[in-house]
Amino acid sequence: MNKAHIKKSLHAIAKLDDDVAQALDQFGYPEPRIRPAGFETFLNTIVSQQISTQAAATIWQRVSSLMTEVDATSLLALSDSALRGAGLSQRKMEYAQGLARAIASDEFNPGALDDMDDDTAIDTITQIRGFGRWSAEVYMMFSLQREDIFPADDLILLTSLQNLKNLPDRPTPKVARGLIQHWSPWRSTGSLFLWHYHHQFKQAI
């Protein structure tokens, strides 16, 4: 989702949704988020889970600096003590090693996701321990550039949708999917806009 794609998609959504049109006029466009596809991004996702952005960046720097190349083979060559010393918890270390083993054994091939439809790719990613649907959907959006993904379990998206639509309560994931169904086939850009809207809305109130 580069800037041109974001602008084109949001214009299309705004024609169908007056709330998006008004918010777009007020807060403008979100910045693109593009991440490389493959092992490095999957590993970074594990490192970043449930910690602050700053802490994740520090630990990622330590972990990645231990490897000559950030790939499955290099990760598997590291000792448990080295990974713990870099800041990985026991669980995250197990997730990282499991991911690396799955790739090294060709049980999981990130490159094969390109040829799968959205649902199959998400199901394939979530077979890897440590990756839930949200992580899979975010990977699909920002690494595979899939255009019609809406991570409905994301609390920020749900809160943002509540504010955008002036709802009395935060919608459930099921309700949220219904509210933005007409954004298809541009729901990835719509999701990106909701994250952007959330931060802009907080600053405005």
CB 200 within 8 A of CB 162: no
The rounded percent of the chain whose pLDDT value lies above 70 is 98
CB 141 within 8 A of CB 150: no
So what's the pLDDT on residue 50? 86
pLDDT tens-digit readout, 28-78:
999 999 999 999 999 999 999 888 989 999 999 999 999 999 999 999 999
So what's the pLDDT on residue 62? 96
So what's the pLDDT on residue 203? 67
pLDDT tens-digit readout, 154-173:
999 999 999 999 999 999 99
- Count CB neighbours of 50 within 10 A: 9
| CA neighbor of 195 nearest in space, from 144, 148, 150 | 150
So what's the pLDDT on residue 200? 85
Residue 199 pLDDT class (50, 70, 90 cuts): confident
Q: Which domains, ranges and CATH numbers included, belong to the chain? A: 3-32+149-204 (1.10.1670.40), 39-142 (1.10.340.30)
Q: Is the pLDDT of residue 205 over 90?
A: no
CB 201 within 8 A of CB 160: yes
